[in-house]
Structure 1
């Protein structure tokens, strides 16, 4: 990592709401750089802000979702979510969602640091199994494997490519026992 100051912290509801413009910028940049995180082009900053306000903030407010932000020199450079809203027969499990690192800050250890925070929180919450999915062949897939996540399988043709909607990509389902 460069000499920049990296801080990773959970964002409680009020802080998350205040950070929506920065989080929207992060998501917008990731989608425009080709990240397969549920969205396709064209994708506006308002689309990104609506996602944070409508899909993430309610879970953060209810306590079912924990959101982290990685800040580099005070600016949000990455984020990740831990979804603990599981059914009664799965209180031991949680899902990692939307690991995002701004294209300008990739390959500097931010994703690893965010994942370490997610895993530490899962342990504190007595969650012994984490699950996630990632686009098959994506740069994140070897990162997750290096962090100890095991591949369950691949679902072909799972989602439209964010840049070329005529193309469909597979998704790789992974898990880690903590």
Structure 2
């Protein structure tokens, strides 16, 4: 089940969100963090970055549940500048490593795209490490490659720079 998470239910989800982020970084997801990365680091991200966004209503947070709790999450961040009110960013698509290959990421992205349409956003943009498996998911969902920037991000496991692919999707 996919649902939008709001500020009032954030605290109840915090432990699951922390576990997912921690697990994703430790399995090589390129989502802005590198090792060493502790549970406290993961919790701090949610509390210092996402909670304020929920309070300000500057982002939408979606979560996927199964019988054991939250297994995935993604964020929609509508651009706030006056000349970009048609656009939104896709951020931090995370699926618990134990729940992958079950359609969780696709379901989260479908909910995010629906919400972007409701907000009258006609362009979604994202970036992903070029070698990350999520790139294929995005392409199968209609995202197009805008370009690739070499040496854009650091590999989460070692001190090696890798290219990042920037993608976009037009919404009707």
TM range (shorter): over 0.9
User: Deviations for 1:64-113, whole angstroms, at most 9, x for unmatched residues?
Assistant: 10001101114111000000142110111000000000110111100000
Q: TM-score, normalized by length of structure 2?
A: 0.97
Matched, 1:25 2:19: yes
> Separation in 1 of the partners of 2:129 and 2:10?
26
In the alignment, the residues of structure 1 paired with residue 43 and residue 72 of structure 2 have an alpha-carbon distance, to the nearest angstrom, of 15
Q: Superposition RMSD on alpha carbons, in Å?
A: 0.8
Which segments of 5 or more consecutive residues in structure 1 lack a partner in the other structure? Answer: 1-6
Q: Which residue of 1 aligns with 2:76?
A: 82
Indicate which of 55, 63, 88 corresponds to 1:61. Answer: 55
Which residue of structure 1 lines up, in the alignment, with residue 37 of structure 2?
A: 43
- Paired residue for 2:88, among 66, 87, 94? 94
- Indicate if the aligned counterparts of 2:79 and 2:87 stay in contact, CA closer than 8 A: no
Mapping for residues 75-154 of structure 1, pairs under 5 Å: 75-154=69-148
* Residue matched to 1:176: 169
Distance 2:55 2:70 in 1: 20
* 2:67 aligns with one of 73, 90, 110: 73
Runs in 1 of length 4+ with deviation above 3 angstroms?
none
Deviation at 1:16, TM superposition (A): 1.6
